[in-house]
Structure 1
Amino acid sequence: MSDKTNPGNFFEDFRLDQEIRHATPRTVTPGDVALYQALYGGRFPVQSADSFAHKLGFRQAPVDDLLAFHIVFGKTVPDISLNAVANLGYAECRWMAPVFPGETIHTVSRVIGLKENSNRKTGVVYVHSQGYKDGNELVVDYIRWVMVRKRDENAPAPAERVPTFNAIVAPERLRTPPGADFAHYDWVLAGSPHGWEDYATGEKIDHVDGFTIEEAEHMLATRLYQNTAKVHFDQFRQTQMSQDQEKPGRRLVYGGHVISLARSISFNGLANAAFVVAINGGRHVNPTAAGNTIYAWSEVLDKAELEDRTDAGVLRIRTVALKDQPAAGFPDKDTTGKYPDSVVLDLDYWVLMPRREKRRG
């Protein structure tokens, strides 16, 4: 049997502090941007029109923040999560610089934690990943953890370490896109008059719209990011493993696909959330499959001014995505922390939003 193919790493293959330089560099093209637009229908104006972006100081429209994230993430899959059961969560994710068509991205990861599960069939791998453009400029920096199968249930587990994370990326650690100036922000063309001043902590927003996930769409999206995780593509394998209670009998939708759908849906109510600048934490609470219809609601958790700019502020947003249940009534976890089956995503993040009036003083 040839040893030239890559079966991916299993849980027992990982080692603490292991550094992995991921193949393959990926040049972002206008075609990627168009396909991403076709898949999610995002309407945020800075990423939609060069003319709008020019007025804010950009040479052209930057690619969607989440497209950059997914490409960085996709580089890690063959080494980290090819044999994943599920991607479990994110922490301390920051966008450090915008990405433009024509720039090339690569990713480096370090294993920062490992923990075997009690069933001895799987374990959780924690990684710190960093995406760079054009060689050495950091664009995305994040932590994630993923449940990975063992090759051999009887294999000894690697040394255990469960890392701790900051629950929130402090506002002073946020990076805003260099050169961006919202002084000439066109509120009419943006599609909403609501700026940073108009949102209140505790406010909840039903984003109203729903998007049904088609089988071809979620697989096409995942291929766009060169994410090769088997759970998204191999229906035969999923069917064969359906006796395992940790595995449904259908292909799972990549969690990032749901994040992008939720972000797109959130335009209706958060149209001027121009950039995602950090993810404080996120959980994929329940699995999603083709045929599910995604709805979303958001809550404003906090808001902060920025010391280095008067034209914009940041909002801390919690977006909850649902499957096959509209967001009216804001379905959520109960007092014990248990989520209803309809909740598929609970995402806590910071967005940069222009101010209608510059701060005085």
Structure 2
Amino acid sequence: MLYEFSYTLGMTAPTAPHSDSPPRLDATRVARALQYADTTLQIEAEEIISLKQRIANDSAPFVRAVELLLHCEGRVVVSGIGKSGHIARKIASTLASTGTPALFVHAAEASHGDLGMITAKDALIAISYSGEAAELLAIVPIIKRMGATLIAITGNDASSLAKLADVHLNVGVQKEACPLNLAPTASTTVTLALGDALAVALLDARGFGEEDFARSHPGGALGRRLLTHVRDVMRTGDAVPTVGVDATVYAALLEISRKGMAMTAIVDGDGRAIGVFTDGDLRRLIENVQDFSKMTISEVMHRNPRSVQPEQLAVEAVELMEQFRINQLLVTDSQQRLVGALHIHDLTRAKVI
């Protein structure tokens, strides 16, 4: 039913009569809805078939991408912005659950500290349909200088991102399913399908079988998240970056560099964790202090650092990291003595994320 309202300034617009059931489409709108559903599915199906044919005609880029990902010594990092970012997150999740250690890094957040999550041994899959996403292009030169592998997924062979990549995978479509040809629809579907194709090809190349899948999906519901404890994945002993409370800032920086966790714990004489100092803290220190050569770490550390205990579930550590937007956690015992440390990469390798 249609309601026509006319009201003047100061009057409250009337509302439709209350109904226990939602409004129904009339016959004309039902027909249009079904027509758009049919058209959308047809367009997206045709574009996936077009991608299939493109790979069949020139398989070299796809094969090379699989080879690079298969022999990656680090993690596969998938990144994008906007709708491409949502697709990137799903691709990273699929890769991680099928035997390829992977994680998602938001392209915009990468320029504000999350770039520290990527190492020279990693492979970056950068997704941008235009191939001109400013957030990705801002970090790609750093990735290249670092020596990490770059795989670009775009819809334009001549784009900036495609030209910078070690391998470019083209997901160009003739048209979007959106009737305005504006909203990413067919292009994101094709990109997602390509991500699935890469994940399945890697699954087979790694010999990832039923037993492997069962270990990461016990009970058929990603039960591993409920079975893995912090003690199972945390770093211990000399792998934990640690300095004393009287250490200089320079000594802390050396420890951060040696241990590769982008942070160091600060402990007192009894081994209790009393602070933490991260790469982000260093950047802020450089911005605000001209000379910190004589400063001790106790002057600039974060006191009362976030921590978990070894017997907690690893998924609880993930929740803490997400809640406080951090990539590392200290692991302490009931007396707050430092017994280990966790990085988000540790949780990714354990397929908790």
Q: TM-score range by the shorter chain?
A: under 0.3
- Give the number of the structure whose alpha-carbon radius of gyration is greater: 2
When you count strand as a share of all residues, which structure comes out higher?
1
Larger relative contact order, structure 1 or 2 (CA cutoff 8 Å, min sep 6): 1
| TM-score using structure 2 length | 0.23
When you count helix as a share of all residues, which structure comes out higher?
2
| TM-score using structure 1 length | 0.23
